[in-house]
Structure 1
Amino acid sequence: MRRTPLQRALLTSAGLLAALFFLFPTYWMLTTALKTPAQVLSPDYDLVPLSATLANFTTALGKAGFTGFLTNSLIVTLGAVACALVAGLLASVPLARMRFRGRKGFLLLVLIAQMAPLEALFVPMYLIMRDADLLDSLPGLMLVYVAFTLPFTTWTLRGFVKGIPVELDEAAMVDGCGRWGVFRRITLPLLGPGLVATSVFSFVTAWNEFLYALVFLRDQDKQTLPVWLSSFKTAFGTDWGGIMAASVVYAVPALVFFLLVQRKLVSGGVSGAVKG
């Protein structure tokens, strides 16, 4: 149906209002990071600050332990993303292409694990990590994040694999490709959008997690950036300008990661059909 100019104007206005609604917290965080302490505590809600300062960013970046916490977060997050993608990919292909006894039950367990809240798993996860002597270690925290993101990764990639026509695999095998060749030349390139979607979800989940990092990592030198953000709140008060500046810095790696992989979200859908 062709929309009238009035309908298009109303839809555009509604879209702009929704965009402003979701962008306002980010704008408020950025403007607060550029304010002086007096402006931050002022009762006047100045949406456009008349003056700006980078002192809060200097305070945040100069805070003790920032570089170490950033390194720990990158190691744990990128390691969890890589492990979840590899394990989820290896699990999704047979779940989508093969028929074996217990497949439906296994899929049900994956769905249940995906629906379980992280807080409900805190005590059993702690006991498992304690018995495995993995507390207070970055590999142990990385395994916890893999356990959180793997069900979603497996379930999502299975849907993408099922969306790839089986006839493409059969045609490649007729042309002389083996199982590995079909996977490398057909399945893997066509899974580009799915790999991007699951990697972004895994990255954001691991990057923003706070509770498990706070409890499982007792050594301050091994803690991650979400724990570092909590250090701006002390017994003497909260440094709102500093914590907003730190939040801006904290959001940059996630934004960079998305910008690096978002191109594959579009190109991955057609690259496999050309390369196959």
Structure 2
Amino acid sequence: MTTTETRLLRTQGVAPTAQRRSPIAKILLGVLGVVVALVWVFPVYWMLNSAFLPDAVLQSGRPQFLPVGGSLDNFRAVITGGTFLPALGVSVAVALITVICCLIFAFLAALAISRFRFRGRKSFVIAVLLIQMLPAEGLFIAQYKLMGSVGLLNSVIGVSILYIAAVVPFTIWMLRGFVAGIPVELEEAAMVDGLSRTQAFLRITFPLLAPGLVASGVYAFLQAWNEFTVALVILQDGSTQTLPLWLRGFIQQSSSRAIDWGEVMAASTLVALPVIIFFLVVQGRMTSGLVSGAVKG
């Protein structure tokens, strides 16, 4: 392909590499993508499939890839066991507190360091980055002593505070990129039309931050929902457990006898299900393309 042809393709919006790609290469890439997707999704499917099968089928040694003859008995046994619903309530409370507080604190901090110039601004940004380098395991003793000194061991508030402190720095950095990506000219144009700075921000800028807020909220939710080690240190009372701690205790109870893998898989499915539902609800807003072309015209 000559230089003139390459330039012509670029002016027409066609990449030269895509033009040279043969149909066979496209088919091979498609097949490779399907294989990678199947490898990634197979453990999830196997967990869900096993959750519907009785333990006798799972222990037979002959794999059954479809839940033929399955039932909801495993789910019923897990839910009626008496400890799942309290653990679910604790996890939901911790996750909601963490998400709401992280979004409020991180949003205000990201707005300050992106829109305003003040003394210590660069030091604050550097401190946010350095905090991310601290290993969580190195803080366990200090966190335990701190929560014990204020009487917040084995409490939802105590573990939520630790989750917020761990998630806020990265959430600030994430939201800072979204805030900085929105042109200041949008607010200035709204102020020229008669709006105050606060009105311009609430009516123009804030709606454009929805993808960033959703992405940050998803990150905070996943961290709070799946976290295990901090909860293991702080929540030592069996009556106050998050779902990851409950799942570990459920497996340990099963190991005291013959492990019922159907119930274990059903329990794992119930732990993962809220994350999937939450992601499906918010995934429509997880896009950064809302700002594209906002200053045109």
TM-score by length of 2: 0.85
1:265 aligned to 254, 270, 286, which one? Answer: 286
- Per-residue Cα deviation, 1:35-71 (whole angstroms, up to 9, x for no partner): 2112222333333354323221111111112221111
Q: Does 1:190 align with 2:190?
A: no
Q: Does 1:253 align with 2:253?
A: no
Distance 1:214 1:237 in 2: 25
How far the C-alpha of 1:237 sits from its partner, in A, is 4.6
Matched positions, count: 274
* Structure 1 residues 170-215: Cα deviation after superposition (integer angstroms, max 9, x where no partner): 1122222223212211221111111111111111110011222233
Moved more, 16-25 or 124-133: 124-133
SS at match of 2:62: coil
Letter in 2 for 1:97: R
Partner of 2:106: 88
Which residues in structure 2 correspond to 1:220-259 (within 5 Å)?
220-232=238-250, 233-234=252-253, 235-259=256-280
Does the 8 Å CA contact 2:178/2:212 hold for their aligned counterparts? yes
Gaps of 5+ in 1: none
- Residues 84-123 of structure 1 correspond to what in structure 2 (within 5 A)? 84-123=102-141
Matches within 5 A, 1:31-46: 31-46=49-64
Identity of aligned residues (%): 47
Closer/same/farther in 2, CA of residues 59 and 40 from structure 1, 3 Å limit: same
1:65 matched to 2:65: no
Alpha-carbon RMSD across the aligned residues, in angstroms, is: 2.1
The alpha-carbon deviation at position 161 of structure 1 amounts to 0.6
Aligned twin of 2:165: 147
Bigger CA radius of gyration: 2
Whichever residue aligns with residue 134 of structure 1, its letter is L
Q: Which residue among 104, 126, 147 is the counterpart of 1:129? A: 147
**Partner Cα separation in structure 2 for residue 11 and residue 148 of structure 1:** 39
Name which of structure 1's ranges 262-271 and 99-108 shifts more when overlaid on structure 2: 262-271
Q: How many Å separate the matches in 2 of 1:217 and 1:271?
A: 45
Question: Cα distance, 1:238 vs. partner?
Answer: 3.2
Q: Does 1:177 align with 2:195?
A: yes
Instruction: Note the C-alpha offset of 1:13.
Output: 0.9
Q: Once superposed, which parts of structure 1, at least 4 consecutive aligned residues long, lie more than 6 Å away? A: none
Distance in 2 between residues matched to 1:78 and 1:266, nearest whole Å: 22
Deviation at 1:104, TM superposition (A): 1.6
Q: Is the 8 A contact 2:51 2:75 kept in 1?
A: yes
Offset at 1:34? 1.6
Alpha-carbon distance between aligned partners in 2 of 1:130 and 1:155, rounded to the nearest angstrom: 30
Is 1:160 aligned with 2:181?
A: no
Tell whether 2:230 aligns with 1:212: yes
**Tell me, what secondary structure is at the counterpart of 2:246?**
helix
2:8: which partner in 1? none
Indicate which of 94, 111, 132 corresponds to 1:76.
94
- The amino acid of 2:85's aligned partner reads T
Give, in whole Å, the separation in 1 of the partners of 2:64 and 2:58: 10
Letter matched to residue 247 of structure 2: L
Does structure 1 retain, via aligned residues, the 8 Å contact 2:78–2:263? yes
